[in-house]
Amino acid sequence: MTEQNGSAVNTLARKLVKDLVPYASARSSMSGGAVWLNANENALAPAYQLDGTFNRYPSCQPKAVINAYAAYAGVKSEQVLVSRGADEGIELLIRSFCEPNTDSITICPPTYGMYAISAQSHQTAVNKVLLLNSERLDLDGIFATNPKLVFICSPNNPTGDVIPHEQIIAVLEHFKNSALVVVDEAYIEFVPEASVAPLLNRYPHLVVLRTLSKAFGLAGLRCGFTLANPDVINALRKMIAPYPIAEPVAQIAAQALSAAGIAQMKQSVATINTLRSDFIKLASTLPGVLKVWPSNANYVLLQVADAADCVNALIDADILIRNQSSQLGLTQVVRVSIGSPDEMQRLTTAMQQYFLTNQQIKREHA
C-alpha cells in the first residue's frame, strides 16, 4: 500500500479508534528476557494432547467444557458461558448491558485495566472510585454512582487483596434493581474460600468472571468463563460470535477440567502459594522495599524508591517484572508474578544484588 493510501485509510477510521490508547499488555510492552514474571502467568505449565480433525466448525458453547466448568464451580450449566478469555467476558458484558453514549460502568482503581478500555471502545463512561488504602471498597463513593455494571476485582490485580464479602454483599444490596455487579475472580483458585460464586443463586444480578489463564496454567489457550443467572447468560449468548471457542481450545479446556486436571491445578496452586510466602518474607527484609502488599494471588506488589530503575535493573539480569506506577492510587510500585522455584531463585539473587547495591550507593552518599 502506498503511503497516500495508508493515510486515506487512517482518515476512514472512527474518531473513537483514532483516540483510543490500546491496553499495553505485558506481552506487547516488554520482550526478551529469560524469566517472565510480568504477566501473572503460571510457570508450572501442564502439557496437553490434541486429537481429531478440524474440518468442522466447533460448537459455540461446547457442552463438555460447559458441564465440566459448572461442576467445578458448583453452579448449573445454564449459568455458564465460555469465551475467549475472561477479557471477552468483560467486553460482552459491556456490549450487552451498556447503551453507548448513555450508560456507565463503575470500577475501583487501582485495578485491572481492561474494564476501562473495553468501556471506552464501546463509548461507555467510566466512574472511577478509588479503593480505600488500596484494599477496601469505598462504598459511599460507589453508591454515589449510577452505573449499569460495577466491576469488583477479587483478588484484585495488582494489589492482591481480597475484597471482604460484607462489602460485596453491600454493593449487591444497593444495586439490586439497577445494575449488574461483576466480581472478577481470575485469581480465585489461589484463595478459593473467598469466592462469591455461592451467592449466585441469591443475587440474580451477580456475575462472576473466571479464567483458565492463571492457576490452570493456560494463558496461551485463551479460555475464560462468565457465571451468572441464565437470563444474563442468554443476553451474552446473543452477542457472542458464532464460533468463539476453537475446537483445539475446547479439547484442551475439557482435559484441564477433568478430575486429574483439577488435581494438577491444585498442586500447582499449593506450590505457588508457598513460593509466594517465601518471596514475601524475603522482600520484607530487603532494604529499599518500602511496602509489600499481602497477596492472595500469584503475584506480589512492592513499593520501592524508584520503580523504573528496579524494573531496568532486573531486565539487566534477564528478568521481566511489571511497573504498575501509572495505576491510579499507586506510586513507585512493581508487580512481581510468582514463577517456578528456579525462576524465584534467580529473582531472589537479582533483587538482593540490586537492593544491597542501592544501599551501598546510599551509604557512599551519606
Name the segment binding ligand PMP (CB under 6 A); options: 48-56, 132-140, 211-219, 228-236: 211-219
Q: Which stretch binds ligand PMP (CB under 6 A): 79-87, 170-178, 189-197, 311-319?
A: 79-87
Question: Applying CB under 6 A, does 339 fall inside the site for ligand PMP?
Answer: no
Residue (of 185, 226, 184, 175) closest to 205 by Cα position: 175
Point out which span in 16-24, 82-90, 137-145, 168-176 binds ligand PMP (CB under 6 A): 82-90
Choice between 112 and 354, CB closer to ligand PMP = 112
Angle at 105 between CA 178 and CA 176, to 5 degrees: 20
Q: Is 292 helix (H, G, I), strand (E, B) or coil?
A: strand
- Binding flags for ligand PMP, 136-165, as an x/- string (CB under 6 A): -----------------x---x--------
Which residue in the set 112, 190, 203, 355 belongs to the binding site for ligand PMP (CB under 6 A)?
Answer: 112
Size of the site for ligand PMP (CB under 6 A): 13
Cβ count near 239 (within 10 Å): 13
The residue sitting closest to ligand PMP, measured at its beta carbon, is 85
| Phi, psi of 88, rounded to the nearest 5 degrees | -70, -30
Grid coordinates of 221: 489457550
Cα–Cα distance between 352 and 348 in angstroms, integer?
6
Spatial distance between the Cα atoms of 366 and 363, rounded to a whole number of angstroms: 5
For the CB of residue 267, give the shortest distance to ligand PMP in the complex, in Å.
21
Question: What does the block give as the cell for 220?
Answer: 496461551
Considering beta carbons, is residue 25 or 352 the nearer one to ligand PMP? Answer: 25
Which position among 42, 75, 79, 87 is part of the footprint of ligand PMP (CB under 6 A)? 87
Instruction: Assess 94 for contact with ligand PMP (CB under 6 A).
Output: no
Q: In whole angstroms, what is the distance from residue 71 CA to residue 259 CA?
A: 11
118 part of the interface to ligand PMP, by CB under 6 A: no
- Judged by CB under 6 A, does residue 86 bind ligand PMP? yes
184 binds ligand PMP (CB under 6 A): yes
Query: Smaller CB distance to ligand PMP: residue 184 or 343?
Result: 184
Which residue in the set 147, 224, 261, 339 belongs to the binding site for ligand PMP (CB under 6 A)?
Answer: 224
Q: Does 244 bind ligand PMP (CB under 6 A)?
A: no
Q: Is 113 in the site for ligand PMP (CB under 6 A)?
A: no
Give the residue from 219, 208, 289 showing the smallest Cα distance to 38: 219
* The three grid cell numbers given for residue 289, joined into one nine-digit string: 522495599
Name the residue nearer to ligand PMP (CB basis): 211 or 251. 211
C-beta of 86 vs 275, nearer to ligand PMP? 86
306: Cβ contacts below 8 Å, ≥ 6 apart: 332
The cell for 199 is 451467592
Q: Is 358 in the site for ligand PMP (CB under 6 A)?
A: no
φ, ψ of residue 351 in degrees (nearest 5): -70, -40
d(CA 75, CA 158): 28
Note whether 115 binds ligand PMP by CB under 6 A: no
| 219 is a site residue for ligand PMP (CB under 6 A) | yes
- Contact yes or no for 228/83 (Cβ under 8 A): no
Q: Using CB under 6 A, which of the segments 30-38, 65-73, 80-88, 133-141 binds ligand PMP? A: 80-88
C-beta separation of 155 from 187 below 8 A: yes
DSSP per residue, 142-164: HHT---SEEEEESSPTTT-PPPP
**Should residue 69 be labelled a site residue for ligand PMP when binding is judged by CB under 6 A?**
no
- If the CB atoms of residues 265 and 313 are measured against ligand PMP, the closer one turns out to be 265
CB 55 within 8 A of CB 197: no
SS3 226: strand
- Residue 62: CB minimum distance to ligand PMP, A: 17
Q: By the criterion CB under 6 A, which residues form the site for ligand PMP?
A: 40, 85-87, 112, 153, 157, 184, 186, 211, 213, 219, 224
